[in-house]
Structure 1
Amino acid sequence: MSDSALKDRIQTAVKEAMRSGDRSRLGVLRLITAAMKQHEVDQRTDLTDDDVIALLSKMVKQRHESIEQYRAASRDDLAEKEEYELTVLQEFLPQPLTDDEVGELIDQAIAESGAESIRDMGKVMGLLKPRLQGRADMGKASAQLKARLNG
């Protein structure tokens, strides 16, 4: 057993996809396992669940950007492939937070850090990032935080 239950879940999904002959799903799962292996080799460490979530979040962000570019170029075939990959990736991420839940976490982080102005934004983001990783759009959260600290 590894340090990451999520990593184990992904490896189990690979075996299931192989058994069922689902080549499309297997391809996406192999992309994920390759990225995990690469990270472990580069960092010389075993992945934790947080590491896997960060890795998956990065892959999801890349898919969103690719879909946007493919749609703009009228390459719906490639956009659909990326959308499929996105659905597989999102299976392994925690449930996304609602805007209200993100707002509550921002308020908590502001209170915990004692932030009073925009100068304290880095301190608050340091608290927020692990709580929001893989569960919310960090860009939107950052904009919400900025609005609260400026307000």
Structure 2
Amino acid sequence: MPEPAHDLPGLDIARKVLAAQPFSVLLGTRLTAFGEGEATVELDIREELLQQFGHVHGGVLSYAADNALAFAAGSAVGSRVATAGFSIDYLRPARGAVLRAHATVVRAGRTRVSCRCDLSTREADGPWTLCAVAQGTIAVLLD
């Protein structure tokens, strides 16, 4: 059963969870927003994250969507969640200086949370450009 609202993790705790993920540390991922059914993760785009045409690799976009979806769900039902599955549609090549994945809860049930995620990139302080969308189901882990 989802945790009561007073047991939901805050931004500081959620950032500690992200910091405990070695792959997220490797990529330099930041949790920039968390709470009330929403979460945003960002990472700086580096050469090592590109594919052969100079765009952000689809696996990096998928990773960002997966984490944002799970954190959004966790902000609504508590920290005992795991991704059950998600799909992603790549809309345009992802390029720029920063990648942002912003996820929101569509519906939080007792055992599953449905979420959607928009992935955008931007150069320095320029406008965000939508490059992919994802939707997923996050499982609430029961004891």
TM-score by length of 2: 0.31
Structure number with larger C-alpha Rg? 1
Higher strand share: 2
Could you tell me the TM-score, scaled by structure 1's length? Answer: 0.30
* Structure 1 or 2: more helix by fraction: 1
